[in-house]
Structure 1
Amino acid sequence: MFGKGFKLYSILFLKCPRCHEGDFLESHPYTFSDFNKVKERCENCELKYSIEPSFYYGSMYVSYGVGIALAVVVFATLYLLGLDLQPLTIFFSILTTLVLLMPYIGAISKSIWANLFFKYDKELAIKVKQSQT
């Protein structure tokens, strides 16, 4: 259920939304020289990742939602662990988590945004895989 062909695979592993083979980003999200820079095209299926100029500005809204969801998860985890923490400690725990995961949140948000607009093409993925062998 979590292999190639599912949007979650493309999103979490930062793969091409159409063929699930090519890399979505120029480099790893934590490589700060190319900080979350999306490739122009997929090296396998030649999908152009930007439909229009400034296409990924919409991913900022997704990033906000992912950040809020992550903050809720951190709060719920601290609560379920039964830790009796002060509000300021909880705040700094959430803040630290968000700051440490910021590059990955940005990358995931761009991947989610792209997956909203591009559909997985199973036939194309099979053709690409056959041409590589």
Structure 2
Amino acid sequence: MLPQGSKLYSILFLKCPRCHKGEFFTANPYKLSNFNKVKERCPKCHLKYSIEPSFYTGSMYVSYGVGIAVAVAAYVLTLLFGLALSIGTLFIIIVTALVVTMPWIAAVSKSIWANIFFNFDKEIAQKINSK
């Protein structure tokens, strides 16, 4: 399992980039009524998640890369399973994989974007643990 303190932990588990304790989103990415809604502040360390208005607009660039990774993974999985599929079938499989993972891709992209600008603070995490 990933240790707390690594950026990968914060990204994959959608936790606060500074303390790795608080939730980053208001709800699960697949709860479409609150689709991709980032909390204003961390409930544990009170970090303000948005540095400026439209802060998460930059995560669109990250989501492109994550989407490409998902598409490549879908293609490689078809190769690993030894499926000899036509181009049209591969296209449908990749598009389906992208549509199904779209909420997750958007959430992880915002988490990656936040982790670029915020760093883990071990002292704050220890203070939260001691409470």
TM-score with structure 1 length normalisation?
Answer: 0.96
Match of 1:17 in 2: 17
Q: Helix, strand or coil for the counterpart of 1:43?
A: coil
Distance (Å, rounded) in 1 between the aligned partners of 2:123 and 2:18:
10
How many residue pairs align between the two structures?
Answer: 131
Q: Helix, strand or coil for the counterpart of 2:60?
A: helix
Match of 1:84 in 2: 84
Match of 2:4 in 1: 4
Match of 2:31 in 1: 31
Kindly provide the amino acid, as one letter, of the partner of residue 99 in structure 1: V
| 1:114 Cα offset (Å) | 0.2
78-87 or 18-27, which deviates more: 78-87
Match of 1:45 in 2: 45
| 1:75 Cα offset (Å) | 0.7
Taking only the aligned residue pairs, the percentage that are identical comes to: 63
Q: Helix, strand or coil for the counterpart of 1:19?
A: coil
| 1:4 Cα offset (Å) | 0.8
Distance (Å, rounded) in 1 between the aligned partners of 2:119 and 2:18:
6
* Stretches (4+) displaced over 3 A: none
| 1:80 Cα offset (Å) | 2.2
CA displacement, residues 39-84 of structure 1 (integer Å, 9 cap, x when unaligned): 0000000000000000000000000000001101111111122111
Computed over aligned residues only, the root mean square deviation of the Cα atoms, in angstroms, reads 0.8
CA displacement, residues 71-111 of structure 1 (integer Å, 9 cap, x when unaligned): 01111111122111000000000000110010011000000
Kindly provide the amino acid, as one letter, of the partner of residue 119 in structure 1: N
Distance (Å, rounded) in 2 between the aligned partners of 1:80 and 1:99:
22
Match of 2:112 in 1: 112
Kindly provide the amino acid, as one letter, of the partner of residue 12 in structure 2: L
Q: Helix, strand or coil for the counterpart of 2:94?
A: helix
TM-score with structure 2 length normalisation?
Answer: 0.97
For structure 1, the residue ranges without an aligned partner over 5 or more in a row are none
